[in-house]
Chains A and B, each alone.
Chain A
């Protein structure tokens, strides 16, 4: 069965520190991988995506993620956290199983301390 696991429902970092949000997936077909950010009372904003090609993808706001097929991972990183990065982050997988279906992880809430 297809699934997305995000390790850590809450992550707290200091401003300027490295941000690492972990995502592992399980899929029987080649996945398309995404990270979305959700600010309070708002919708989902795409941070970055992997479809094919280069496994290190760069997104908005200085975020990047690396697709590692052997580890079935797609971890999100940012070298230096800003206060404005505090939000909920969702890893997602879109699968072509005849139709198209996107499965989201449970989310990781990022706290940034001054």
Chain B
């Protein structure tokens, strides 16, 4: 059964460094998403992406964040200059249309 994959599973970085989190969505899906979950808190929407552009983003998704689909398979989230409060689990998701989303296992980002 096809699934969304994410790499790395755990990323440790120093404050101020740039990180790129990678996702491989399910191959025939058209919509892509990033969410984050700070430890012990709820899952928060960051951004949705369709047809090579952002279709919706939250207040969290500021200028420090960017997304890209560099080729036909990967979908990346870049944080330009990480802050301590960026430490969280980041989930990628994809969907064939606009309803059911399939989530990846997540990347745990730790900023020190």
Is the Cβ of B33 less than 8 Å from the Cβ of A102?
A: yes
- Chain A residues near B56 (CB-CB < 8 A): 97-101
Q: Which of B54, B99, B101, B106 contacts A51 (CB 8 A)?
A: B99
Closest to A6 in B: B42
Cα A43 to Cα B91 in complex, Å, equals 8
Which stretch, B43-51, B63-71, B80-88, touches the partner chain A?
A: B43-51
Q: A99-B55, A101-B58 are in contact. Are A44 and B103 (CB under 8 A)?
A: yes
Q: Which of B43, B48, B102 contacts A99 (CB 8 A)?
A: B48
Interface residues of B in 22-66 (CB under 8 A from A): 31, 33, 35, 41-45, 48, 50, 54-58
Q: How large is the interface on A (under 10, 10 to 19, 20 to 34, 35 or more residues)?
A: 20 to 34
Cα A90 to Cα B91 in complex, Å, equals 14
Q: Which of B31, B35, B105 contacts A100 (CB 8 A)?
A: B31
Cα A77 to Cα B48 in complex, Å, equals 30
Q: Indicate the member of A43, A94, A96, A103 with the most B CB atoms within 10 Å.
A: A43
CB distance from A5 to the nearest CB of B (A): 11
Q: A44-B43, A90-B43 are in contact. Are A101 and B103 (CB under 8 A)?
A: no
- Chain B residues near A90 (CB-CB < 8 A): 42-43
Cα A107 to Cα B104 in complex, Å, equals 19
CB distance from A34 to the nearest CB of B (A): 8
Is the Cβ of B91 less than 8 Å from the Cβ of A94?
A: no
Is the Cβ of B103 less than 8 Å from the Cβ of A43?
A: yes
Is the Cβ of A101 less than 8 Å from the Cβ of B48?
A: yes
Is the Cβ of B99 less than 8 Å from the Cβ of A94?
A: yes
26 interchain pairs (CB within 8 A)? A32-B99, A34-B100, A43-B91, A43-B106, A44-B43, A44-B103, A45-B103, A46-B101, A46-B102, A49-B99, A94-B98, A94-B101, A97-B56, A98-B56, A99-B48, A100-B48, A100-B98, A101-B45, A101-B58, A102-B33, A102-B101, A103-B45, A104-B44, A106-B41, A106-B42, A107-B42
**Given A43-B103, A94-B101, A104-B44, 6 new contacts (CB under 8 A):** A42-B105, A43-B105, A51-B99, A101-B58, A104-B42, A107-B42
